[in-house]
Amino acid sequence: MQLLFGHVSPETAYTVAYYPYVLRCSIRYWLEHNPKHGFRLVSQTTNPKRGNVWNKPKASTYCRFGGAMYLDESDHVQWSGLSEYCSGAEAVEWQKKFGAAVPESGHEMLDKWVAAKVAYDANRKRKDETA
Instruction: Name the strand (E) or helix (H) holding 33.
Output: strand 23-34
Instruction: Please state, for a pLDDT cut of 70, what percent of the chain lies above it.
Output: 94
Residue 97 phi, psi dihedral angles, 5° rounding: -80, -45
Average model confidence (pLDDT) across the chain: 90
Which tens digits make up the pLDDT trace of 1-20? 999 999 999 999 999 987 77
Beta bridge partners of 47: 53
What stretches of the chain show up as alpha helix (H) in DSSP?
A: 88-98, 107-130
In terms of C-beta density within 10 A (0-12 exposed, 13-18 middle, 19 or more buried), how is residue 17 classed? exposed
Q: Distance (Å, rounded) from C-alpha 35 to C-alpha 109?
A: 9
Which tens digits make up the pLDDT trace of 24-37? 788 999 999 999 99
